[in-house]
Amino acid sequence: MEPSLIKQHRSLVTELPGPRSRELERRRSAAVAGGVSSTFPVYVAEASGAVLVDVDGNSLIDLGSGIAVVSVGHAAPRVVDAVSDQVERFSHTCFMVTPYEGYVAVCEALNERTPGDHDKRTALFNSGAEAVENAVKVARHVTGRQAVVVFDHAYHGRTNLTMALTAKNMPYRDKFGPFAPEVYRVPMSYPLRDPEGMTGEQAAGRAIEEIERLVGADNVACVLIEPIQGEGGFVVPAPGFLPTVAAWSRQAGALFVADEIQTGFCRTGRWFACEHESVVPDLITTAKALAGGMPLAAVTGRAELMDGVHPGGLGGTYGGNPVACAAALASIRTMEEEGLVEAAARIEEVVGSCLRSLQRDHPGIGDVRGRGAMMAMELVRPGTLEPDAEATRRIVGACHRSGVVVLSCGSYGNVIRLLPPLVIDEALLAEGLEVLSGAVSEALSDGSD
């Protein structure tokens, strides 16, 4: 099967969503559960690189990568080949019954690539939430402790335990309780919203004080944190925060667990976001970009911890499925051979300078932040920190109608985030940013008076 060669451009032949998408949307509402929603109901027919082609023949620029998943691009040629080849050979045996090499090779690649050169082991799962659940299982098992410490604005998933770990009520938790116990939430370092001048070390001190007060250091099984928060608003903690929290965890005998499900695999201009501050987590969870669009997730950690669980204690029917493993190996090879760490750093320069210049013109942009190809702007009422979710919705809507997929996020729904595929070509990225700039100017000039 040849990957289709879709021209890397934006081209609109109908309004968006077009008539065929609207027709599918009608079928959907009679068939798909209402609790599952789509931010931009344009139905995709095919995709390649950074372009989605919809069922009406429109070509859209994708600046979301399916929430940081297709970092190697849609239908990345190595991934397409590896998946096709694997599915012809065999698609499933269950690793817990009769194993296969691909699973082992993905674990080797993760052990080698993740931060720290200590001896590591990995276990594979299907989704990010499942990886987080399993990291907590390992942490509780090997420490003999129960408490899990998480942070304000955190997002870790939608299963029962991970809902408890996630901060935001709507839409993730509302009326879905009771939640799993022994979860304690402490303040995150959020430079825009912390007291002016608060350093990372001071913010860590504030969090640690809370942990000691709420839980007691020797009851903590693990401290779980996204090194840059994803759904919570692309919050980059002040320098010094992560290393201080990691050092405290080690001293307290708790595991420091980095959730790099959104930040991992070159996204932030390093293989993993922890590397920006030389933090070496005890356990790290990965998913999303790991397998270039196939469902695969992992927990990687110190060998003595990961081997501390009895045989049969971790697993699942599909975890480390052979097709997903083939996709992961091909994605990792693509990242290496196409220099996607450097590509993310180049995207940071282009996107960062665009967002900063918008910020100079619009006092409604309270903050521009992020690393690599994980950049965002936070919208506020000019001169205040009051979140402006309404302007955020207007800007996102205008981008969508113009054929550019952007996503919002944030505890207050007022952050616009950009997560382009790392292989996006320069001209296409520039065009996407031009559309975004137009939408910002229109929304903020209208809305700020």
Binding site for ligand PLZ (CB under 6 A): 67, 127-129, 132, 155-158, 226, 230-231, 259, 261-262, 287
Q: In this structure, what is the dihedral angle of CA atoms 343, 85, 100, 295, given to the nearest 10 degrees?
A: 50
Between 34 and 312, CB nearer to ligand PLZ: 34
- As measured in angstroms, the least distance from the Cβ of 42 to ligand PLZ is 18
- As measured in angstroms, the least distance from the Cβ of 445 to ligand PLZ is 31
Between 354 and 374, CB nearer to ligand PLZ: 374
Is residue 379 within 8 A of residue 447, CB to CB? The reply is: no
Between 177 and 253, CB nearer to ligand PLZ: 177
Between 68 and 395, CB nearer to ligand PLZ: 68
How far from 394 is each of 378, 391, 444, 445, CA to CA, in Å?
14, 5, 9, 12
* Secondary-structure breakdown of the chain: helix, strand, coil percentages, each rounded to the nearest 5: 40, 15, 40
- As measured in angstroms, the least distance from the Cβ of 70 to ligand PLZ is 14
- As measured in angstroms, the least distance from the Cβ of 46 to ligand PLZ is 23
SS3 assignment, position 255: strand
- As measured in angstroms, the least distance from the Cβ of 13 to ligand PLZ is 30
Cα–Cα distance measured from residue 330 to residue 418, given in angstroms and rounded to the nearest whole number:
24
Between 132 and 327, CB nearer to ligand PLZ: 132
Between 230 and 372, CB nearer to ligand PLZ: 230
Is residue 92 within 8 A of residue 318, CB to CB? The reply is: yes
- As measured in angstroms, the least distance from the Cβ of 160 to ligand PLZ is 13
Between 86 and 166, CB nearer to ligand PLZ: 166
Between 154 and 343, CB nearer to ligand PLZ: 154
In degrees rounded to 5, what are phi and psi of residue 36? -100, 120
Cα–Cα distance measured from residue 123 to residue 136, given in angstroms and rounded to the nearest whole number:
13
- As measured in angstroms, the least distance from the Cβ of 164 to ligand PLZ is 13
- As measured in angstroms, the least distance from the Cβ of 327 to ligand PLZ is 15
Residues 6+ apart with CB under 8 A from 386: 380
Is residue 12 within 8 A of residue 403, CB to CB? The reply is: yes
What is the gyration radius of the CA atoms in the chain, in angstroms?
22
- As measured in angstroms, the least distance from the Cβ of 272 to ligand PLZ is 12
Between 168 and 362, CB nearer to ligand PLZ: 168
In degrees rounded to 5, what are phi and psi of residue 279? -90, 130
How far from 380 is each of 218, 325, 387, 444, CA to CA, in Å?
40, 43, 4, 10
CA angle 341, 233, 433 (to 5 degrees): 60
HSE-CB of 36 using CA atoms within 13 angstroms:
7
**Beta partners for residue 283, in sequence order:** 257, 301
- As measured in angstroms, the least distance from the Cβ of 132 to ligand PLZ is 6
Cα–Cα distance measured from residue 216 to residue 209, given in angstroms and rounded to the nearest whole number:
10
Between 65 and 127, CB nearer to ligand PLZ: 127
